[in-house]
């Protein structure tokens, strides 16, 4: 146990050393105590970067309880270190069963949080259904990912959302970098860790050309894969094509795929008819939030046998002799088989989270039960601190330039 705590502490420290924006907020929060007396319930991937967000919120005065938002994404060493060295309440274990997963979400709700920070909306959905006793106390929440925001917007549209919700996923300082560059890099961290195989020269299919899919396709191309994109949105399909990728329907694309990665937030993106047409040896994985993008029930039903051939790889042997390989049980592989996004990426995502929860604490009384965008000032503040830490300076508009780009009258457009 001592060894585990030591390992976790070092991991937390390493992450924090690469999170300068969060460090600056931490220095400010320690002095100003913007969350004094507040209770925060979190359901995020319980690993080092998340740990440092939790510590920062605790340093700002909050009592924090943390569970994981995925049964496979917990770093047990970090969980132990957060308990032992920072005194945080952590309810998470790598490989927890579905029953334990929900029990852990319930343990977080048992502190009767004032604010919740969720990733995928399971914590918030649980509070709105089975844990309405805890719901009464919740004054607001933040949601981290695309899939969670989609669920919460659906709840709000039905009039079922019972507190204001900040859509952190769609903050510019989140999705532009986290979903694209974070997923783009960490997907391959997970893939390589799981497979120890080559990407260069392989035919790879990326399902979905949203922010995550774009990042994955870009990095796959950079690694030398021959990339085909599948889409359902005609505009995104054009974007993929103009970025230089083949675009095909999944049923056709799978015929030549040696690597397949889903990044859609949709269900059954790869299913029975696709498995029938895949070539022997195809490695299939997912970076979308839930493990329903690849229909593993159908894959199992079609298989003669299933066996674990490496830590994060299951071999499905089909009746006709082909073998298909599923990474990390179809769960988001960058966290389940890798170490998640780089610390520098989570620095800006989690600084946005931290400022978002302080904003909620200050403004929840004026807010309705809706999904709110993160205010531009928060994006700008995070971006400014990030640039300052990098030592990057940028230009400022002069008064005349500001007036010019905000004017419309004729005669203001000619050179003088
Ligand atoms: N692994 C991670 O670390 C990580 C990070 C951020 C987001 N996510 C998750 O990844 C998923 C995608 O997020 P995003 O931000 O890229 O979303 P997005 O909305 O920007 O993109 C999703 C894309 O998938 C396409 N799509 C939907 N259904 C499809 C289907 N059946 N076939 C092909 N394409 C389809 C959509 O048209 C869209 O272009 C979400 O579940 C999100 O929560 C994961």
What is the distance in A from the centroid of ligand 1 to the CA of 146?
A: 7
Q: What is the pLDDT of residue 373?
A: 98
Beta bridge partners of 325: 283, 315
Integer Cα distance of 258 and 39 in angstroms: 48
249 secondary structure, DSSP code: -
What is the distance in A from the centroid of ligand 1 to the CA of 410?
A: 44
CA atoms lying within 13 Å on the CB side of residue 411: 1
Among 288, 327, 348, say which to mutate for ligand 1: greatest number of ligand atoms within 8 Å of CB.
288
Q: What is the pLDDT of residue 408?
A: 87
Taking the CA of residue 268 as reference, the ligand 1 atom at the shortest distance is 31
Taking the CA of residue 148 as reference, the ligand 1 atom at the shortest distance is 43
H or E stretch covering 262: strand 259-262
Q: What is the DSSP string of 275-344?
A: HHHPPTT-EEEE-SSSTTSB-HHHHHHHEEEEEEEETTEEEEEETTS-EEEEEGGGSBHHHHTS--S-HH
In this prediction the pTM is: 0.93
Contact indicator for 183, 206 with CB cutoff of 8 Å: no
What is the distance in A from the centroid of ligand 1 to the CA of 285?
A: 14
List Cα–Cα distances, 395 to 74, 353, 379, 392, in angstroms: 42, 27, 18, 10
Among 175, 176, 178, 210, say which to mutate for ligand 1: greatest number of ligand atoms within 8 Å of CB.
210
- Is 286 a pocket residue for ligand 1 (Cβ < 6 Å)? no
Q: Is the pLDDT of residue 57 over 90?
A: yes
Spatial CA neighbour of 55 closest among 85, 24, 91, 21: 85
- Is 232 a pocket residue for ligand 1 (Cβ < 6 Å)? yes
pLDDT in tens, 206-260: 999 999 999 999 999 999 999 999 999 999 999 999 999 999 999 999 999 999 9
pLDDT in tens, 181-201: 999 999 999 999 999 999 999
Q: For the ranges 122-126, 288-292, 411-415, which has the lowest average pLDDT?
A: 411-415
pLDDT in tens, 83-109: 999 999 999 999 999 999 999 999 999
Spatial CA neighbour of 261 closest among 320, 343, 348, 338: 338
Residues in CB range of 350: below 8 A, 6 or more apart? 19, 22, 49, 50, 52, 53, 56
For 17, other C-beta atoms within 10 Å of its C-beta total 11
Spatial CA neighbour of 107 closest among 82, 86, 90, 129: 90
What is the distance in A from the centroid of ligand 1 to the CA of 32?
A: 38
pLDDT in tens, 317-372: 999 999 999 999 999 999 999 999 999 999 999 999 999 999 999 999 999 999 99
- Is 226 a pocket residue for ligand 1 (Cβ < 6 Å)? no
CA-nearest residue, atom 42 of ligand 1: 146
From its phi and psi, is residue 208 left (phi > 0), alpha (psi between -120 and 50) or beta? left
Q: Average model confidence (pLDDT) for the chain?
A: 97
- Is 236 a pocket residue for ligand 1 (Cβ < 6 Å)? yes
Contact indicator for 43, 108 with CB cutoff of 8 Å: yes
- In angstroms, how far apart are the furthest CA atoms of the chain? 78
233 secondary structure, DSSP code: -
Q: What is the pLDDT of residue 409?
A: 80
| Cα 82-88-93 angle, rounded to 5 deg | 60
């Amino acid at each position: 146990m001592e060894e585990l705590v030591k390992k976790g502490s070092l991991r937390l420290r390493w992450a924090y050393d690469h999170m300068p924006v969060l460090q600056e907020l931490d220095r400010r929060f320690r002095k100003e105590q913007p969350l004094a007396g507040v209770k925060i319930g979190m359901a995020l991937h319980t690993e080092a970067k998340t740990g440092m967000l939790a510590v920062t919120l605790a340093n700002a005065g909050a009592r924090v309880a943390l569970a994981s938002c995925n049964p496979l994404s917990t770093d047990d060493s970090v969980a132990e270190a957060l308990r032992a060295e920072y005194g945080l309440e952590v309810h998470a274990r790598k490989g927890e069963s579905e029953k334990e997963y929900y029990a852990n979400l319930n343990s977080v709700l048992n502190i009767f949080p004032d604010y919740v920070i969720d990733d995928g909306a399971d914590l918030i959905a649980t509070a709105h259904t089975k844990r309405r006793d805890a719901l009464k106390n919740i004054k607001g929440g933040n949601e981290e990912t695309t899939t969670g925001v989609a669920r919460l917007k659906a709840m709000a549209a039905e009039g079922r959302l019972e507190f204001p919700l900040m859509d952190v996923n769609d903050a510019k300082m989140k999705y532009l970098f986290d979903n694209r560059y974070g997923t783009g890099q960490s997907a391959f961290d997970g893939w390589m860790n799981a497979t120890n195989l080559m990407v260069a020269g392989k035919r790879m299919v990326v399902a979905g050309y949203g922010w995550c899919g774009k990042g994955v396709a870009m990095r796959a191309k950079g690694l030398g894969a021959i990339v085909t994109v599948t889409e359902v949105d005609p505009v995104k399909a054009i974007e993929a094509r103009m970025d230089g990728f083949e675009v095909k329907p999944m049923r056709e694309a799978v015929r030549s795929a040696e690597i397949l990665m889903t990044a859609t937030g949709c269900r059954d993106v790869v299913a029975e008819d696709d498995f029938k047409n895949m070539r022997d040896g195809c490695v299939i994985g997912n970076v979308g939030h839930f493990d329903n993008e690849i229909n593993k029930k159908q894959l199992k039903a079609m298989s003669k046998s299933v066996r674990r051939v490496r830590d994060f790889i299951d071999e499905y042997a089909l009746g006709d002799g082909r073998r298909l390989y599923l990474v990390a049980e179809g769960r988001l592989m960058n966290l389940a088989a890798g170490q998640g996004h780089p610390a520098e990426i989570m620095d800006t995502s989690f600084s946005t989270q931290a400022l978002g929860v302080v904003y909620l604490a200050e403004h929840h009384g004026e807010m309705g039960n809706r999904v709110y965008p993160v205010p531009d000032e928060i994006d700008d503040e995070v971006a400014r601190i990030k640039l300052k830490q990098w030592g990057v300076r940028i230009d400022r508009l002069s008064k005349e330039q500001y007036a010019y780009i905000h004017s419309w009258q004729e005669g203001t457009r000619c050179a003088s």
